[in-house]
Amino acid sequence: MDTARDLVIEERKDSISTKGKHKKQLKCDTDSVAGCVSQRACVYCGARVVLNPITDAIHLVHGPIGCASYTWDIRGSLSSGSDLYRNSFSTDLKEEDVIFGGEKKLAKAIDELVANYPSKLVFVYSTCIVGVIGDDLEAVCKAASQRHNIEVIPVQSSGFIGNKSAGYRAACDALLRLIEPQEQKIKKTNSINYLGDFNLAAEAWIIQNYLKEMGIDINVTFTGDSSYDALKKAPGASLNIIQCAGSMTYLAGKMKEIYNIPYLNISFLGIEDTSESLRKVAAFFNNKEMMARTEALIERQTQKVLPVIEAYREKFAGKKAAVYVGGGFKAISLIKQFREIGIEVVMIGTQTGQKDEYETIHELVDEGTVVLDDANPAELEKFMVEKGAHLLVGGVKERPLAYKLGVAFIDHNHDRKHPLGGYVGAVNFAKEVYSTLCSPVWKYVDSMGGV
């Protein structure tokens, strides 16, 4: 049976495929179809997610209040320094501003904020109406920058100009402006930049410790626990490694072009990917001692983690998982991670996966697995039920749907309070799967395959 055939929305059919049944390339990276209840957010969201972890910046949203309200401190990025980033500032545009323009208000807002919260860096996020009423963000930011002798960087993130991926790109453009050396050349070092880790629940710190043990210093992380000064040194790294490819590949490409910094795609989700990634980074430096240290680290950590995972694995026999996450890299790692704990992925989708990522997903999954891009609740429900998933991985919006279906749930979102990266993350992941899949609650529910 063609699983896409009985779906009601014609425009969505090319965005859904079943391995072994469809040969055609999955349609992805397009605008969402109206009325389909997409789970995606907007350009502004994409930009804000990427830039917000910069701890000592003023994050000012130029727009009506909602955009700032819905993004105030909702992410779990941790800081070792300033916590200015945990404030949400807004120009709170009103009707008269929409009619007469918001430039003056924006300029005053920057002045007030800089006076109250001394900082070397201000990001000004553009929202939908700013793009329409035609405020000259560049000019206002440039003038403010000169007035205060700090950097005031506009982020072109009007919601309608594309999907979340366009926001990632807007954020990367802002970052490129920020790291561009003003006068003197940045000194090259042996250190690396770590791209696409937002230090959710200390994940960037965990990876930093691994690299340190191997003998590698992180120059700066984009953007978890980063600061103005640290980001300014970014061009001095000798290698960029990318975790969240969806948001950071563009930046890495540009940094290669401009600063001649090569990059490697890595993933620190799951034991296999973590070990593989650490080896890949060590291999880049082509240093025997470093390789030995790396192998020792991998050996020690794996020995510690494997028995724990093995114990959990026994409990998960015969269980099936569905995955719906933001980016493709996370989806790919999750397939492998589920395999590590003996769970088959029967449905997998992303909000912003790219063509090559879907190709990899297609190669990795078993026959019969449904792959979907930019899914909606109706499709998630349909395929979870059809495929008999016992567990869904997703974000806040997907959680209640899973629970109402009597399906276990893993929070793989930016709000999580426990690390899912590195070896400790692999254990936490298995533990979380156990806590939800094997909870006694399902005994009381006539669920589709509850334990």
Partner 1 sequence: METTHCRNVNENPCNMCMPMGGILPFKGLEQSMVIIHGSQGCATYMRRHIAEHFNEPVDVGSSSLNEKGTIYGGENNLKQGIDNIIRIYNPRVIGILTTCLAETIGEDIDRIAADYLEERGLKNLPIITVPTPGYGDSHSEGYWLTVKKIVVGVARKTAKHGKINVITPNISPADVREIKRILDLMKIKYTLLPDFSDTLDRPFAKPYKKIPDGGTKLADIARMPGAAATIQFGLTVEDGMSPGKYLETEFGVPLYNLPIPIGLENTDFFIKTLREITGKAMPKVLEQERGRLLDCMIDSHKYNFEGRSVVFGDPELVYAMAKTCIENGTFPVVVATGSKTGKLAELLAPQLCDTLNKFYILDESDFTQIRETGIEMKANIAIGHSDGRYLTEKAGIPLVRMGFPIHDRMGGQRLLSVGYTGSAMFIDRITNTLLENKLINYRSKMYQQYYQGTEDEYQCFPEC
Contact 333, 429 (CB under 8 A): no
152 binds partner 1 (CB under 8 A): no
Among the listed residues 98, 150, 291, 306, the single contact to partner 1 using CB under 8 A: 98
264 binds partner 1 (CB under 8 A): no
35 binds partner 1 (CB under 8 A): yes
Among the listed residues 26, 54, 57, 93, the single contact to partner 1 using CB under 8 A: 93
Q: From the CB of 101, what's the least distance to partner 1, in Å?
A: 12
Judged by beta carbon, residue 62 or residue 232, the one nearer partner 1 is 62
CB atoms within 10 A of CB 386: 14
Q: From the CB of 283, what's the least distance to partner 1, in Å?
A: 40
Judged by beta carbon, residue 121 or residue 401, the one nearer partner 1 is 401
376 binds partner 1 (CB under 8 A): yes
- What number of residues does the chain have? 451
Query: Cα(318)–Cα(326) distance, rounded to whole angstroms?
Result: 26
Judged by beta carbon, residue 97 or residue 340, the one nearer partner 1 is 97
Among the listed residues 76, 131, 327, 421, the single contact to partner 1 using CB under 8 A: 131
CA distances from 334 to 318, 325, 343 (A): 17, 10, 10
Cross-strand partners of 151: 121
Region of 104-112, 140-148, 271-279, 338-346 interacting with partner 1 (CB under 8 A): 104-112
- What token pair was written down for 382? 């349909």
Contact 403, 409 (CB under 8 A): yes
Pick out residues in 12-31 that bind partner 1 (CB under 8 A).
Answer: 31
291-330 footprint of partner 1 as x/- string (CB under 8 A) = ----------------------------------------
165 binds partner 1 (CB under 8 A): no
Pick out residues in 387-446 that bind partner 1 (CB under 8 A).
Answer: 395-397, 399-401, 403-406, 445-446
What order of strands is seen across the sheet that includes strand 16-18?
Answer: 16-18, 370-373, 344-350, 320-325, 391-394, 408-411
Among the listed residues 77, 79, 91, 337, the single contact to partner 1 using CB under 8 A: 91
Judged by beta carbon, residue 160 or residue 285, the one nearer partner 1 is 160
CA-wise closest residue to 353 among 380, 327, 379, 371: 327
Kindly give the pairing relationship between strand 408-411 and strand 192-197. Answer: unpaired
Cross-strand partners of 92: none
- What token pair was written down for 65? 């209040």
Element (H, E) at 247: helix 245-259
Query: Cα(436)–Cα(439) distance, rounded to whole angstroms?
Result: 5
Judged by beta carbon, residue 113 or residue 278, the one nearer partner 1 is 113
52 binds partner 1 (CB under 8 A): no
Query: Cα(381)–Cα(436) distance, rounded to whole angstroms?
Result: 18
Among the listed residues 52, 79, 90, 333, the single contact to partner 1 using CB under 8 A: 90
